[in-house]
Structure 1
């Protein structure tokens, strides 16, 4: 029996969007304006579970893990949301313990800005964000735009967003400049606690000199919030002539 892989239809403007993102990022970096790549890493179970990969340990000292993979009701799962600063090769990761929502995503960006970005870019006038097309930072998600509007007003930065077409998020730089190295760093190690996860993420290094800061975020981020038309109308959004659904700017004032 043979099988075939079925792929969804690709957007006819897929490559044109890649070129648009690259050009926009290049312009911002040349002007010394912050450019970040954001996304949620794969959810991880917390506890003594087997983790793929191998780690060398002293002979006779194997790490004991659970036989079954049932979720620990107390520890649950974590949602690591990352912000990768493309120009500085630096990153911030919030390890969330609640739901992966747009409020959590933007709060992570906020924590990066006030902990790392603001000091590095004191003359910043705008913030450029590249993100996947779905999930908590999806281009159709109203809460994402509303939360970014609040962040823009709080920081005084105009926020320019560029989404990768659905199914092409692996080309977003955070995937291969941060997340892949986090996975390599903790391979073979059971993620037995939130502290272990945060420390392993923060200790991730690369030959290019990547620096990572990580913190636990235990705040609650309820799902299912409904954003009304009136609330959405408060967002000062300017859509690009090319795919305004994927490329838009949120004004701070």
Structure 2
């Protein structure tokens, strides 16, 4: 057997990657291919035995992990310092809001889900398997479900506006826009936030640096001013995560991941199914989720006018002013 192990290690020599923090190694060779190559060397061994030997040598099956921030871009020392400073600043502001029992929410749009008879990853207990399309082409879809979520950390509650982006010709009836994002936050405030935090007018929003709620779109700030500050009298502080750091946004692992778990292996054949499984998401730690369907059509590429920008009552913070700012009612 030692000779067999030596031969296997030799075969794996140029097919091996590993984790520098542990003894785990992995390979792109299959156990059957290794067994076949050993047969050529007059070593007869089954693929099952090869698998056991590989395990004893520290190999395991691996998939890709998305854990390299910024798409693998090399950050300068200044950018790294700015990035760390922003993480610390977000924690500081969040702690301040929580101590005063002012609402702090994490927001984002979940990955858009095709609505139709498509396979959904995962398994669930059923007497018979669901039969789905053999291809996941969007041409077969009824549309897309755009879940814009609001996660309230203090209450451990999620509120999700499910945009019904229905298929129209080669495109879709609606888009993920700053207006869609802010109106989703306003819905949370109307249905939940104003009732839970009725004695305060201050709100902290933690958002990604890009997308419909990014720090660059003027319309994001214009709609915050119009719908939250002026209409509801809220003083809104926004802190954006650094570019490429969306995985650190609380909503990603506190809310969206749980929704995905709840509907795993469930074909999202219609919008009612998306709504039902979103609303029924809960955890042993007390997470509760409410949701509603939104059929309003949002047009993309709508620009803020000069008059809109003049109406902004905004004060940028001293630390990373592009990412941190507060809007006040006019």
The normalised TM-score by structure 2 is 0.73
* CA distance in structure 2 between the aligned counterparts of 1:86 and 1:155, rounded to whole angstroms: 21
- The Cα of 1:73 is off from its aligned counterpart by 6.2
Match of 2:119 in 1: 50
8 Å contact kept, 2:115–2:143:
yes
* CA distance in structure 1 between the aligned counterparts of 2:268 and 2:74, rounded to whole angstroms: 37
List gaps (5 residues or longer) in structure 1. Answer: none
* CA distance in structure 1 between the aligned counterparts of 2:95 and 2:114, rounded to whole angstroms: 37
**Residue of structure 2 aligned with 1:87, choices 121, 144, 154:** 154
Match of 1:205 in 2: 282
SS of 2:158 mapped into structure 1: strand
SS of 1:206 mapped into structure 2: coil
* CA distance in structure 1 between the aligned counterparts of 2:261 and 2:116, rounded to whole angstroms: 19
Q: Which structure ranks higher in relative contact order (CA pairs < 8 Å, sequence separation ≥ 6)?
A: 1
List gaps (5 residues or longer) in structure 2. Answer: 1-13, 18-67, 165-173
* CA distance in structure 2 between the aligned counterparts of 1:64 and 1:74, rounded to whole angstroms: 15
* CA distance in structure 2 between the aligned counterparts of 1:77 and 1:239, rounded to whole angstroms: 36
RMSD between aligned alpha carbons?
Answer: 1.6
Higher helix proportion (structure 1 or 2): 2
**Residue of structure 2 aligned with 1:230, choices 307, 318, 323:** 307
**Residue of structure 1 aligned with 2:182, choices 106, 122, 146:** 106
* CA distance in structure 2 between the aligned counterparts of 1:232 and 1:16, rounded to whole angstroms: 28
**Residue of structure 1 aligned with 2:131, choices 53, 64, 69:** 64
The normalised TM-score by structure 1 is 0.95
8 Å contact kept, 1:94–1:215:
yes
Q: Does 1:127 align with 2:203?
A: yes
* CA distance in structure 1 between the aligned counterparts of 2:291 and 2:206, rounded to whole angstroms: 20
**Residue of structure 1 aligned with 2:260, choices 183, 187, 194:** 183
* CA distance in structure 1 between the aligned counterparts of 2:188 and 2:146, rounded to whole angstroms: 16
* CA distance in structure 1 between the aligned counterparts of 2:245 and 2:263, rounded to whole angstroms: 25
Match of 1:144 in 2: 220
SS of 1:145 mapped into structure 2: helix
Structure label with greater radius of gyration: 2
* CA distance in structure 1 between the aligned counterparts of 2:147 and 2:133, rounded to whole angstroms: 23
SS of 1:135 mapped into structure 2: coil
Q: Does 1:40 align with 2:148?
A: no
- The Cα of 1:206 is off from its aligned counterpart by 1.0
Deviations, residues 26-68 of structure 1 (Å, cap 9, x unaligned): 000110101100000000000110011111111xx22110112
8 Å contact kept, 1:46–1:72:
no
Q: Does 1:76 align with 2:109?
A: no
SS of 1:128 mapped into structure 2: strand
- The Cα of 1:252 is off from its aligned counterpart by 1.1
Displaced runs of 4+ in structure 1, greater than 4 A? none
Q: Does 1:163 align with 2:240?
A: yes
